[in-house]
Homo-oligomer: A and B are copies of this chain.
Amino acid sequence: MIDKVDEFNAYRQKMNDKILGENNKVLKRIFNLDTNSFTEGALDKNTKELLGLIASVVLRCDDCVKYHLESSYKSGVTREQVVETLSIGTLIGGTIVIPHLRRAFEYWEILEQKKEHSEAEE
């Protein structure tokens, strides 16, 4: 179960490399912007991650939710902050969001378990 994170990231990386390997200027710049726009500015990094998370949730994109859950987790966002963000997303986006909510909660738990697991191994 814990490997789901690594598996997701490996596929993501492999295909991103292929896409960028096409040397299409538009795609390369969009990928580049995606990396840069979540750095601290007038808003801190954690807030930006939660903005990315709620946008992904209401647009119902599971892979985008996973991506922002992991970067939120690494950036130090708390479980309570994620839950509040998801609750606002569900209110705004409607019950149609709920299946994505289930998968988001599952993925967040895997991230927490992976952390515990890696700490236990040290």
Please give the residue numbers on chain A whose beta carbons come within 8 Å of chain B beta carbons, in ascending order.
11-12, 15-16, 18-19, 22, 24-27, 29-31, 33-34, 36-38, 41-43, 47-48, 50-52, 54-56, 58-64, 78, 80-81, 83-99, 101-103, 105-106, 109
Contact = CB atoms under 8 A, between A and B. Distances in A.
Interface centre among A30, A31, A55, A80 (most CB of B within 10 A): A55
Number of copies of this kind of chain in the complex: 6
Contact of A83 (B12, B42, B88, B101): B42
A88 B26 contact: yes
A interface, over-half SS: helix
Contacts of A83: 22, 24, 27, 42
A29 to B, nearest CB: 6
In the A-B complex, the 8 residue pairs with the closest CB atoms: A94-B94, A42-B80, A15-B102, A63-B99, A26-B87, A93-B94, A55-B92, A26-B37
A48 B50 CA distance: 10
Contacts of A106: 15
A86 B30 CA distance: 12
